[in-house]
Structure 1
Amino acid sequence: MFEQPMWQTFLSRLRAAAGVAQAAIVVMAASGEDVIEVRSGQGGEGFARFLTEGHADESARLQLMREARVYALEEIVAAGGPAQAGFAADVLRPAGIFDLRAVRLREPAGLDGWLILAGREELGAAQGRLLALVVPHFRAALRAFSALERERARAQISAEAFRRMNFGWITLDAACCVVDMDSQAESLLARTSAIRKGPRGRLLPASPEIDRALTSQVRALAADPAARPKALHLSRDPWIDLLVAPVRLHGLAGGNQPVAVAYISGDRSSSADRREQLVGLFGLSPSEARLAWAMAQGLGIAEAAAELGLTVETARNYSKKIYAKTGARGQADLVRHILTSVLALA
C-alpha cells in the first residue's frame, strides 16, 4: 500500500498467477464519496462505477454483492441493473474484456473493498478459487489501510491545531542537532533571525546566552530523560518562545535518536502589525493600540508607560478608552479579548 500507485506489485503478481488481462482494487469510504481505484494490466476503467452505480448506500451494495462471495460478470449484471449491463457493453467489451471475477469485503470501520480479475476470454473456477484464497489477506490489507488513513487524518488535525496556535516542534539529538521538525517549525525558523538551523544541522539561537542554556538543557535530557522541561525566551518582537522537553516516544527508525523535543511558539506578526490590526478590530487610536498590545504582552500600566515613553497618568487615560472600546473590564479581561480574538488566527 506504500507504492505509488498502491498495491501494484501485488496486482501484477495476482494478474500473472490468474492468467488474466487485468487485476484491479477498488476501495470506497462508507459515505460512498471517496473512492480509490488502482489497476494492473490492460482493460476497462471505472470499475468503481460498475460495482456501485445505482447501489450507493450500504444496503444496496450488500444486495448487489454479498460480503466475501466471489461473483462472475454475468451474476453482477443480473443482480445489478441497467448501469451494470451498460458498463459491460460500453466499457468492458470495447476494451476486450469479456468476463471477470470479483469479491467484495467490508472493513470494520466502514471501508468497502473490491478485488477484480478481468479476462479477454471466459474465466473458470480456478480464478474464483484464487480470489477466495486471497480474501483473508485482502481483508488484512484493508484493515491496515484503514488504520493508516485514521492515523493520517489524526495527524492532519493535530498539525492544523498546532498551526492555528502558532506551535511547531523540533526534535534534537544529544549534540543539539536537528533530527526532524514539522512544517510549522520550518516556517517559524524561516521568518525569524532569533534561531536557525546551522550548516551542520545544529539548532542555533542568535543569543549566545540562550545557546548555552539550550545546549545545557539538551545535555541534561540526554543524561536524564526524566529531567524537567525548560522554557527559553528567544524574541520579543515578534514573540518567540521555546520549551525544551524530553522525548517520550521512541521509534525504531535508523539514524540519530532524538533525546529532546523543542516546542517552538511564535507570533506570525510583528508588534507593528499587531498594533495596526488592533486599530482596525477595536477602533483604537494608534497610541491606544500601542498601549493595548504592550498590556496584552503582560506589562503593567507603569511598565508599559515607561516602555512607550508615556506618563503613567496618560497611560491610565488611554487604558480607560481601551477598556471602553474593547469591552474589557480590566487588564486580565483585555488580554483575553485580544488573544482570543481573530488576531490569534491572523
Structure 2
Amino acid sequence: MRKVTMADVARLANVSKSTVSQYLNKRYEYMSEETKKRIAEAIEQLQYRPNVIARSLKQKSTATIGVIVFNILHMLTTQVLRAIEDMCQQHDFHVIVCNTDDDPEKERKYIDMLWAKQVDGFIIFPTGKNVDLYKKMIEARLPLVFVDRTVEGIDVDAVLLDNEGAVQLAVRYLVKQGYKHIGLVAPPFASHVIPRTERIHAFRHVLRAANLPIEEEWIVTEQVKRIPERLDALLRQNKLPEAIFAINDLTLMEVLTFVKKHQLSIPTDVALISIDDVPFASVYTPSLTTIAQPAFDMGKKAAERLFMQMDGETRPQMFRLAPKLIERDSAKKRGEKNEW
C-alpha cells in the first residue's frame, strides 16, 4: 500500500501543503473553521499519520522525554510518573518509561538508548553508580532532573522528600501516643540510596532526642522478602518492639504479612506507622497511620524544572518537599501519653 503523504491531504482538502503543515503544528491564527474542518476530514479519510522522524529533524525536537525509574512497582514511582505524564500532555510531549530494578548496567543501557533516540530531556531516579555517564549528559547540556535521590558530585536539579522531616513526624507521633520501644524496618543499608540512608540516620537521631533506647536488633535492615523472618525471630524471643516504623510501602507490606501470619492485633500487640500513604490504608482494619509523600507534587516539580531547562531558564537546585502525617488507627494507644 502506498504511503499517504501531506500532499495527498492537501489535494483532498483543496489547500496547500504549507496550510496542512500549519494545521498539524496547531498554527490556526489565519485559518478559517471551514479550512480546519476540511483538513481534519481529509486526514481522517486518508488515515494520514505525520512522519515523526522527519518532523523532529526539521524542528530539532522529538517532543519526547525519557523517564528512568528504579522500581516501577513502588507506589511513589507510579504517582510521580502520573504527574510527569500529565505535565507532558499539557506541553504536547510524549514519555518513554524505563525500569532499571536499581541495576546500574540496565540504567546505562537505557540512557544510551534514549540518548540515541534523541529525547529532549531525562527525568531519572538514579542508581548513583553511573557518575561518568551523568557527567557526560551534563557536558552535552542534556536537560536532566533527578527524583528521590541525589548523586554526589553531580550538580543537577533534584526533587526529593524531606526525609528527616518525615521520620520526625512518624517517631514523634509514636512517642506522643506513649510508645517507648520503637523499631524500624528497611531494605538493606545502601549509601547510594539517599531516602533509605537519610531515614535510618534520622530514626536514630530522633530517638536520641527523645531519650529513648536504640536497640540494634529493633533496626531491621534486610532484603524485603526476608523481613517477616527477622520479625519472627524477635517474636519468638519475646523481643518484638511496641511499635514498628516501616520506611516505605514495600516494607509495610512485609510487616502486614508478618502480622497476619501470627494473628497479631494492631495496635494492641504492635503499633504500626509507615512512609507512603498506600491506597488501602484507609480501608485496612485497623486503618493505617501513614506519612504521605507529596508524590504528585514531586512529579510536577520535576517536569516543570525539565521544561525550564529546555527553555534555558534555570540553574540546578535541590527541592525538598514536605511530608504529611495522616492519622488513623494503627498507631493509637490508650492511656497516658508522653510529652515531647
Question: Is TM more than 0.5 here?
Answer: no
The TM-score, its normalising length taken from structure 2, stands at 0.26
Provide the TM-score with structure 1 as the length reference.
0.26
Larger radius of gyration: 1
Normalized per residue, the structure richer in helix is 1
